[in-house]
């Protein structure tokens, strides 16, 4: 199944879900293999280092520093990786309300990391699309 590509259908049926927990973005030396014992929700290798997205408690327990704390919103519609304008429409709406968003597209769904203190407001705004 390839997922939905129609923008109006995606926006109407995104069904955003605010997940429990708080998440942080951390950067580690890419040569450091200690992170293998962790359970990141995501890892991405960049030239400057390895970015991990971890549960906040896990980062605290491992003494890994971070700058900001986020909540995770999953857009439960199965969006195509080739959909055009879906995240642009969402991030535009959140930007109009001064809510930053870090988006990650996975095979089935798009996931939004928004500042913890603005997560409830972000959910309200996203539900307005429906």
Domain ranges of the chain: 1-22+70-130, 23-68
CATH number of 1-22+70-130: 3.30.2130.10
**pLDDT tens for residues 52-71?**
999 999 999 999 999 999 99
**pLDDT tens for residues 88-116?**
999 999 999 999 999 999 999 999 999 99
Question: Percentage of residues in the chain with pLDDT exceeding 90?
Answer: 71
Residue 31, pLDDT > 80, answer: no
If one compares 73 and 2, the residue with the highest pLDDT of the two is: 73
**pLDDT tens for residues 5-25?**
877 888 888 999 999 999 999
Using alpha carbons, list the distances in angstroms from residue 114 to 23, 29, 55, 63, 123: 10, 25, 14, 23, 10
């Amino acid at each position: 199944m390839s997922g939905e590509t129609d923008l109006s259908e995606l926006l109407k049926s995104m069904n955003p879900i605010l997940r429990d927990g708080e998440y942080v973005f951390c950067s580690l030396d890419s040569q450091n293999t200690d992170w293998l014992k962790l359970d990141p929700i995501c890892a991405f290798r960049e030239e400057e280092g390895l970015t991990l997205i971890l549960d906040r408690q896990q980062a605290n327990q491992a003494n890994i520093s971070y700058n900001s704390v986020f909540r995770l919103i999953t857009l439960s519609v199965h969006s195509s990786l080739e959909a055009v304008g879906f995240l642009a429409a969402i991030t535009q709406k959140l930007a109009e309300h001064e809510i930053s968003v870090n988006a990650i597209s996975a095979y089935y769904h798009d996931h939004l990391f928004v500042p913890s203190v603005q997560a409830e407001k972000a959910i309200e705004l996203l539900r307005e699309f429906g």
